[in-house]
Amino acid sequence: MMTQLQRFFQHFLVLSVLMSSSLFSVKLSADTDLGFHEVASTVMINALQKQNSKNFLRKLYAQLFFVPVWVDEESLSNFSKDLFSQIKADKTLSKEGKLYKDTLALEAQAKHIYTPEGTLYQKVDLEFKISQLYKGYADYILYGSINWGAFSARLYNLKAKSINGAWETHRPAYSAISLIENAAMGGSLHEAFVHAQPKEYHFKELQAILLKYLDIQAQGSWGNTKLKGSLRLGRAYTIVPTLRKKLALMGDYKSCGKKEGKVYDSCLKKAIIHFQKRHGLISNGVIGKNTLKALNMPLVTRIEKIRLNLDRIKWLYERKSKRHITINIPSFTLSFEEDHALRQEMKVIIGKRKNPTPIFSNTVKTIVLNPQWNIPKSIIQKEMIPKLLRNSNAMAQKGIEIYNGWGAGAKKISASSINWGQYRYSKSVPFRFAQKSGSRNALGKVKFLFPNKYSVYMHDTPNKKLFNRNVRAFSHGCIRLHKPRELLKTFSTFNSTVNYNSAKKRLKGNKKAYLNLPTTVPVDVTYLTAYVDYKGVLQFRNDIYGYDKMQLQSYRTW
C-alpha cells in the first residue's frame, strides 16, 4: 500500500510534470504558460466545485491539482495528440462507433478554437470534453465491454432453475485516473496504456490474433463450407481448394510442397486434424457434424468470441508468483505454470451444466491422502435420499456411513431407522453422510484443498473412463483430476512436507493423512472459450455453461 507521504510526493511529481513546458512542447515562454494554467485552473475549479464528489471530472482534476492536461494556450498538448492518434490507430475500434467519431469531432473543434477568436472558456470546455473522451477510451482499454452487473443478475436468475452459478471478478489494477498519473510521470500516454494491459493468460498473443482476424474481415468473409458425405483420402472433390484456402487463413493448413489440386491428400487431412484439436473435437481428420459446424462458425462470431475473452482476461487475477495453477472450464484442462512456462497439463472433469463449477481464485494449501467424503446437503437431498427411499441399504452398498450429527461424538445409525421422506425438501438435514476412504470413494485417493465458500476442490476419481470423453462435465462442481498422483509428485518437488515415495506407500492403504504445504500454489478457475495456448496456438471451445451468450446479451459497443 502506498503511504500518504509517498502519495504526496507522487502528486507533487505529477504536478511538476504537468506544469512543465517540455512535456507539452509549448512554444510560449514558461511565464506565459504558467499564467494560462493558473487562470485556466481557476475557471476549472469554479466550474467543478458544485459537482458531486464522485463526478469523474472533479475526481480527475482534484488528483491533478486542476491543471489542464489536454489544452495549452496556443495549441493542444502532446497528451491530446497522443490520445487522438491512439484512438484513430486502434483497429479494434469501429469507425462507426462513438469513440472514433467523437475523436474526429473534437479535433475539428480544436481547429476552430485555436484561432484568434478562441476564448479561454472554450479551451476549458474542450479540456473537459477531451477528458470525457479519454475516460471512455480508458474504460474500453482497461475494463472492456462486459456488463458484469447484468451478467451477475442473469446468474442469480438461474437459481430459479436450481442452477447455482458463480463468477468472481478481480478489478483491474489501473483506473482512468491512475493511468493518466502514470502517463504524466512517464511522459507517454501510449506507453501507459501498453503497461496497463494484462501480462498473463497470453493476452498479448490473443490481441494480435484479433487484429489478424479483423484484417481478414476487412478483405471479406471466408464463407460457408458445404459438404455432403465424407471426404476420402486420395479422391478428388470440388470443395477441396476452398477448404484448403479457408484452413490456411485460419492457420491450420501449411503447404507440403506438392501440387495442390482437388485431391483430398494427407497434407489437408493433417490440417483438419490440427483444426479439430484447436476446437476440442475428436481429432481423426473426418469432417463430421461437429467439425463442419466449427468450420462454419462465421468470422464475425470468431471475432466476437476473441473480444469477449480478451475482456474476461482483464478481470482475472494477475499472478506474480513463481507457480500458478489454471483450470479452464470450457477446455476441461488443468495447467501448472512455473516461471511463466507450462510445467504440467492434464485433463479434468468439471461440473455439470446444472451444477456449474464456480469461476474463482484461491490457493492450494493442503493435500489429503485417502480422503473421506463428507457429502454436501444438496447432494444428500437431490440424490441420496431418493435412493434411500427406494432402498434403505443403498448407502451401505457404496460404503457411505450415516451419523446422527457432525460433532466428534456423533454415532453411526442405521438408514432403515429414519423416515427420510421428511428431509427430502427440508431446510436442514441433521445427519452426516460420509463415504469411507478407499478405492470406491468418490474423491479417489488424493484431494487438493484450496479453502473457499463453494466447497470446491480438486480430487482423484475412481471413474477414469470419463476422461476418454471430449466433453467432460460430469461432477457436482468439484474438479476431478486425470492424473492426481502426478500433481502430487509435482508438489513434492518444492514442499519438504510432501515425500512422494512415502505418500505412495500410504496410498496403498486407507489411512487418511493431511499434508500441509509450506509453499502454497495459487489456483484460478477460469472460463475462456477463445485463448492462446502455451505453444502460441489459438484455441476455441464450446460455451459449455452458456456464459458467452449471457455476457453478449449486454455487451457494450464503443
Q: SS in 3 state form for 115-180?
A: CCCCCHHHHHHHHHHHHHHHHHHHHHHHHCCCCHHHHHHHHHHHHHHCCCCCECCCCCCCCHHHHH
**Residue that is last in its domain, among 97, 115, 143:** 143
| Residue 548 to residue 530: CA distance in whole angstroms | 10
pLDDT at residue 16 in the model = 52
The answer to whether residues 355 and 457 belong to one domain is: yes
Whether residue 353 lies inside any domain: the answer is: yes
The answer to whether residues 23 and 92 belong to one domain is: yes
| Residue 299 to residue 295: CA distance in whole angstroms | 10
Is residue 61 within 8 Å of residue 135, measured between CB atoms?
no
The answer to whether residues 329 and 367 belong to one domain is: yes
The answer to whether residues 246 and 337 belong to one domain is: no
The answer to whether residues 34 and 72 belong to one domain is: yes
Whether residue 282 lies inside any domain: the answer is: yes
**Residue that is last in its domain, among 127, 143, 159:** 143
The answer to whether residues 408 and 443 belong to one domain is: no
Whether residue 157 lies inside any domain: the answer is: no
The answer to whether residues 379 and 430 belong to one domain is: yes
pLDDT at residue 4 in the model = 44
Is residue 285 within 8 Å of residue 271, measured between CB atoms?
no
pLDDT at residue 8 in the model = 41
pLDDT at residue 225 in the model = 86
Residue 531, helix vs strand vs coil: strand
Whether residue 99 lies inside any domain: the answer is: yes
Number of domains in the chain: 4
Q: What is the pLDDT along the chain (558 residues), one digit of tens a residue?
A: 444 434 444 444 455 555 443 333 333 334 455 678 889 999 999 999 888 888 999 999 999 889 999 999 999 999 999 999 999 999 999 999 999 999 999 999 999 999 988 999 999 999 999 999 999 999 999 999 999 999 999 999 999 998 999 999 999 999 999 999 988 888 789 999 999 999 999 999 999 999 999 999 998 878 888 888 888 888 999 899 999 999 999 999 998 877 788 999 999 999 999 999 999 999 999 998 999 999 999 999 999 999 999 999 999 998 889 999 999 999 999 999 999 999 999 999 999 999 999 999 999 999 999 999 888 888 999 899 999 999 999 999 888 999 998 888 889 999 999 999 999 999 889 999 999 898 889 999 999 999 999 999 999 999 999 999 999 999 999 999 999 999 999 999 999 999 999 999 999 999 999 999 999 999 999 999 999 999 999 999 999 999 999 999 999 999
Is residue 94 within 8 Å of residue 100, measured between CB atoms?
yes
| Count of CA atoms in the C-beta half-sphere (13 A) of 171 | 4
The residue range of the domain holding 268 is 240-297
Of the chain, the end-to-end C-alpha distance in Å amounts to 34
Burial of residue 487 (CB within 10 Å: 0-12, 13-18, 19+) is buried
The answer to whether residues 367 and 470 belong to one domain is: yes
The answer to whether residues 52 and 100 belong to one domain is: yes
